[in-house]
Amino acid sequence: MTNKNETITDKSHPIIVYCSIGIRSEDIGEKLKKMGFINILNLYGGIFDWKNKGKQVYNDKEIATDSVHAFSKHWGRLLHEGIKVY
């Protein structure tokens, strides 16, 4: 795993991008590709879909958690599993 404070210089290093539902992360992935990165993976459906399917999420300390940042009550309606954090 790459330290979040490191700069990735190897353009073939795998990078996984995600957001709540997958739209913003798709845009970021496209920007990374334009910068020359070649191994970009977008979490299709976003973190909400991932959690709604019962898959595990981890916090910044790499500890399993049920908490998912739902951004707002409007977008939080799409998160059906886990604990919504605003």
User: What are the tens digits of pLDDT across the range 19-34?
Assistant: 999 999 999 999 999 9
The counts of H helices and E strands in the chain are 3, 6
Q: Supply the pTM of this predicted model.
A: 0.81
CA distance 45 to 51: 10
Which band of pLDDT confidence, cut at 50, 70 and 90, is reported for residue 59?
very high
Cβ-contact 49, 75 below 8 angstroms: no
